[in-house]
Structure 1
Amino acid sequence: MKNALLPDDFDFQNSIPLWTLDPSRKIIYREFIFKDFKQAFRFMTLCAQHAEEIDHHPDWSNSWNKVAVHLSTHSSKGLTELDIDMARAMDVFALQA
């Protein structure tokens, strides 16, 4: 079930090594840095399209070439497979932007 909370022993480091787990274990986050604003915006566009497809939207902010992302499944009050799927997709989109 995609919106069930992840087990306490979920291996974040192996699954999404570029992301940081918040000590509360309710949020993962990462800052993406791009060459320029255009590349950052391309990344955000790819992510937004994917978020709409899976109906799971990031909390994020953009400042020129940087995109800071926080993921959590608010309806489940913690981290779920949806967050892991979105993080993995964002890692791929960062390489495509």
Structure 2
Amino acid sequence: MSLATNPQVLAEDFDFQKAIPEWTVHRAEHAITRDFVFVDFDRAFEFMTLCAAYASELDHHPEWFNVWNKVNVRLSTHSKKAITELDILMAQAMDRYAQQIS
């Protein structure tokens, strides 16, 4: 079974601060969020393009909203009604892509 079809729910004591320090954890909503800000629309769109390709590889797609240079992201594993390792992998990739573009 692949990671995408059977992602593992994170342990109660998972260290979000260490793994994804820029993200906000919403335990009651089973989600993590982050707002990314770029210098312009082109950079924001480049970020979204990189993220979309990786999301397709993982078969785990973000909820996001874009206005000009801002991209608001919400990650959750709806099938598990929890935050899972897929969310962490996607968040870490997004952090790398944002750093690469900035």
1:14 paired residue number: 18
Percent of aligned pairs sharing the same letter: 57
2:65 paired residue number: 61
Q: Indicate the SS of the match to 1:74.
A: coil
Moved beyond 4 Å, runs of 4+ = none
2:56 paired residue number: 52
| 1:25/1:79 contact within 8 Å kept | no
Q: Deviation string for 1:17-70 (max 9, x for gaps)?
A: 000001416100000000000000000000000000110000000010000000
If the length of structure 2 is used for normalisation, what is the TM-score? 0.90
Following superposition of structure 1 onto structure 2, how do residues 1-97 of structure 1 map, counting pairs within 5 Å? 2=3, 3-24=7-28, 26-97=30-101
Q: Indicate the SS of the match to 1:76.
A: coil
- Unpaired segments ≥5 residues, structure 2: none
| 1:21/1:28 contact within 8 Å kept | yes
Letter in 2 for 1:39: R
- Unpaired segments ≥5 residues, structure 1: none
Inter-partner Cα distance in structure 2 for 1:74 and 1:12 = 19
Residue correspondences, number: 97
